[in-house]
Structure 1
Amino acid sequence: QIVASSSKYLIMLDIGMGISYPTIAIPPLLHDGHGFKMSTSEATWFGNLVFIWQPVGSLASVPLSGLGRKRSMFYLQIPLLIGWILPYFASSAWELYIASSVLGLDLGKKSTPIATYIGEVCQPKYRGLLACIAYCFLTLGSVAVYAIDVICGNWRHTALYCATLPPLTAIVLFLIPESPVWLISKGRYQEAKQALMWLRGWTDETVIEAELRTLIIHNCKRLSAIKKKEKKEAKIENKDMPFIRYFFTKEMYKPIILSLVFLYLSNGIGVAVFRSYLVLIFQDFKVEMNEYIATVGVTLIGLMGNIVCVILMPIIGKRKLTFTAIILCMFGILALGLYAIFGQHLNITWIPIALMVEIFFATNLGVGHIPWILMSEIFPLRGRTLGTGFVAGAGNFMQFLGTKLFWTYVEYLTLGGTFIMYFITFCIGLTYLYFFQVETEGRTLDEIVATF
């Protein structure tokens, strides 16, 4: 299961690199640019195009479900490779726009298969842990792209180094099996058995016989409603029901609303929004140390949040971890906003760095990653691809909108006012999650879906 999950880890590493690349490319492009310069308007579009195309890619990933989780991720390594090579040869803003669009579209298309793959191939006792580790690699991707840029000092060469990752990911994807749940849904039981034997430690069929039987029976229940006690559920999930109508059943719209609220806290405000401008924010706070090194340090310490998340999630569960992370994050943002308004004249430049470290730590502890883990668990099988694709697309659109509007908020509200607005939004979101977020840690997918 760890080996199979490694494919997602490499993809998450690439996603972390992709969304963080504008952070290191924009500042030099506003000055010498290593060949050409960008205006502020052009730079903001370059920084946001990856987020514009991610929701389009997320929705476009739904038709790819017919290829399977594994093959979808495998074929999507090709455009990703192209998206990384293009910046190296770029001689105009439009070429960087194309590269950013290709990266965003491809990263968005991967969001559905990677969100569902671990949820379907891992046992409940390992699922949360392995999914959480994946988001360590998302942060590690950000650290990697910042570190590469500090070492080579050139955004073109950084992109070329990043281009080595898609071929490696493709090799790993070639070696792992398809999702047994997906294979069973297509009636390919023999292949599902082989995949499950591989995933449970290259074992023989006697070890996985009970689990395979459970998966097959569950699939049969959904498609033919052979058990009397599930007639009501079968009526809801009957294949004759129009899919749009099924989209508005409780077992679909409740997970969708929960995911959208959580994703707004994760993607619409906070670190996901101002990550692209972190160097510029440190400049605004007049941080005395090198802004690029400060960015690497803050992100690297934020990685510790991922590690703590991996340790704590199996112990206290996702629900308590969510509330802990949100409270830490929201009060860190409030303190940063108050410092921006009242404390800058003190010229204590270590305060914004310390607060940013705390915010990144809290985000990586749970705010930024748990909603994506939940997406792989809370949707029913029939609507899993569409539900995950829709929610992932919406989450990516929130990130685009939040990133694009960040400097508009700063212009009208000031930097401190923007952070305080984020704090108020966190308070509202936390109240909703307190009443509606369910605990999924250690429970089977069937048990989780039944709560909705």
Structure 2
Amino acid sequence: MTIEQGNGEMTEKANVCENKLVEESDIVKSRYSPLCRQFVAAIGCTATTISVGMTIGYSAILLPELQHPSSRIHVDLEIASWIASIALLPMAFGCLVAGYLMDRFGRKMTILALNVPFTVGWCIISMSDCMFWLLFGRILTGFCCGVLSPTTPMYLSEISAPKYRGFFLASITLDVALGVLLTHFLAIYCTWNVNAIVCGFLPFIGYIATTFVPESPSWLLKKNCIHEAHHAFVWLRGCDESASIEFQSMVDAQIKNSAATSAQHSDDDTENNGSGAGRQHHPIDHLRQLIAHKSFNTPLIILSIYFATLQFSGVNAVIFYTVTILKDSLSGTDIDEYVATLVIDAVRLVAALIACIVVKCAGRRPLTIFSGGSTAICLFGLSYYLSLSAENSLRNYASIPLALFVIYTLVLSVGINPLPWCLTGELFPLRYRAIGSAFVTAFNFLCFFTVVKTSPIYFSIYGGSKMFCFYGILTAIGTIFLTLVLPETKNKSLQEIEDNYTVKRKHKMSRNKVQP
């Protein structure tokens, strides 16, 4: 097919799509508003993400029970660190697999497919009677979390209106916080086996809820399914003037991208025919060309630094070893570490709820600066307290470490915890969104694994004071970097964000042509 034929077909499909507007008026006249339908579409993602939070928080209640003398599975410190961190390596691998699955089969189908083994993994954990099956269940649930981690924010960003997108994306951390809280709360009343059964219900609910909602309009457009994309877009967003303009801009952008892709393929065919070799492009060459694109490498670098800052702020070290860390930090006080754990979990949940509102009202940049700076200050405060506490100078001030933990959890949860997930669904252009999200979330889980695997060992060697100081320094450095380079995406459509890269690239090219 020639470029002109391809563009003509795309344009014809776009015109047919516009003519179908009257036929789809029954969707527009539905008794439910577009916002309500966007909430319905997000239910499956919500249930699944809550189970992701349960996977993250599960080790905090599992390890103390396994270390109890009456446990049928006994663990030492080394094995305990592996049980906590073993789910994270398959998470990183799952993120890379997600890049292919999302592009090949769609966002919705990827979520549907992964909820099945997710439920099976929790069942395996529940029925485990030896270390092998326990670790296998953790690996399987970790892999599913990895695939779903980039898929969920991408689907939510592509189904939501620009003014509500921040809320939906910030709700991811709310769901994770709720999952962590539910897991820790259930530990009061049931054993780790029963807890795992409850955790397995959430992916099952997610599968049922996702079955009845449409596929991402952006993915359908990328596959040139114009009519299906328009139908999904109208179901989700209605058909007011602003929504119609946004959809038309998406169609126009897809036409241009298809033309550019066809031109590139035509040039490659000409080159191959001229050489007479029929040369195949090596995947390494394709990756090198991909990294050379500013619209890919710029968000890749920004989000990688953001996720590294998040993980080395110690957020997940605290979640995975909450009871252990609080027991050491509150030793010699009258505060029960399990009660303190639930208090911090509740604060994390409330802060995540606040973040859903704040992200919708405030920009990404000011929230990053406030949250990152405040988190670093809290970490330095905890470090200072523990250094004095080691000398028995502050043993009578039991409320200080708990207050610092609460403030740390609050300021981190309203900013640098939800924002990188929000930006993952926003910064990458559509043609790079799947592979870019896969790369940065895989990097995130590698950092996640590094922190969680090394935390118990380094805390025992260097103590909490030096570790919190180390986390504080890295958080401060990352915040300074993000202050300098992070773009603002609040209230911008995904197409406007993508066009921003194109405009900058064209401006740079024209400026280079003017120079002698």
Shared fold, TM over 0.5: yes
> Which residue type is aligned with residue 180 of structure 1?
P
Shift of 1:314: 2.6
Percent pairwise identity: 26
| Root-mean-square deviation over aligned CA pairs | 2.2
Q: Name which of 449, 458, 470 aligns with 1:409.
A: 458
Q: Name which of 276, 293, 300 aligns with 1:256.
A: 300
Q: Name the structure 1 match of 2:309.
A: 265
**CA distance 1:378–1:32, shift in 2 (3 Å):** same
Alpha-carbon distance in 1 for matches of 2:71, 2:227: 55
Alpha-carbon distance in 1 for matches of 2:433, 2:498: 11
Deviations 1:286-308, CA, capped at 9 Å, x for gaps: 15333222211111112221222
Shift of 1:350: 2.0
Q: Name which of 345, 349, 359 aligns with 2:408.
A: 359
Q: Name the structure 2 match of 1:75.
A: 113
Native 8 Å contact 1:340 1:416 kept in 2 = yes
Shift of 1:145: 0.6
Native 8 Å contact 2:44 2:205 kept in 1 = no
**Counterparts of residues 49-448 of structure 1 (less than 5 Å):** 49-65=86-102, 66-152=104-190, 154-201=191-238, 209-225=244-260, 243-244=286-287, 245-285=289-329, 286=331, 287-344=333-390, 345=392, 346-347=394-395, 348-448=397-497
Deviations 1:287-344, CA, capped at 9 Å, x for gaps: 5333222211111112221222222223221110111111121111111111111125
Shift of 1:431: 1.2
Q: Give me the TM-score of the superposition, normalised by structure 1.
A: 0.93
Could you list the runs of 5+ residues in structure 1 that have no partner in the other structure?
Answer: none
**CA distance 1:14–1:33, shift in 2 (3 Å):** farther
Shift of 1:435: 0.6
Alpha-carbon distance in 2 for matches of 1:147, 1:36: 22
Alpha-carbon distance in 1 for matches of 2:58, 2:336: 18
Shift of 1:239: 9.5
Native 8 Å contact 1:59 1:390 kept in 2 = yes
Could you list the runs of 5+ residues in structure 2 that have no partner in the other structure?
Answer: 1-37, 270-280, 502-516
Q: Name the structure 1 match of 2:27.
A: none
Native 8 Å contact 2:250 2:495 kept in 1 = no
**CA distance 1:382–1:207, shift in 2 (3 Å):** closer
Deviations 1:168-198, CA, capped at 9 Å, x for gaps: 1101100111000100111111211221121
**CA distance 1:25–1:63, shift in 2 (3 Å):** same
Alpha-carbon distance in 1 for matches of 2:122, 2:436: 29
Alpha-carbon distance in 2 for matches of 1:325, 1:445: 25
Native 8 Å contact 1:268 1:401 kept in 2 = no
Native 8 Å contact 2:323 2:337 kept in 1 = yes
Q: Bigger CA drift: 299-308 or 382-391? A: 299-308
Shift of 1:446: 2.5
Alpha-carbon distance in 2 for matches of 1:133, 1:193: 26
Alpha-carbon distance in 1 for matches of 2:79, 2:290: 42
- 2:73 match: secondary structure: coil
Native 8 Å contact 1:87 1:96 kept in 2 = yes
Q: Bigger CA drift: 19-28 or 214-223? A: 214-223
Q: Name the structure 2 match of 1:21.
A: 58
Q: Bigger CA drift: 90-99 or 371-380? A: 90-99
Shift of 1:206: 8.8
Query: How many residues in Structure 1 have an aligned counterpart in Structure 2?
Result: 442
Alpha-carbon distance in 1 for matches of 2:449, 2:495: 33
**CA distance 1:138–1:239, shift in 2 (3 Å):** farther
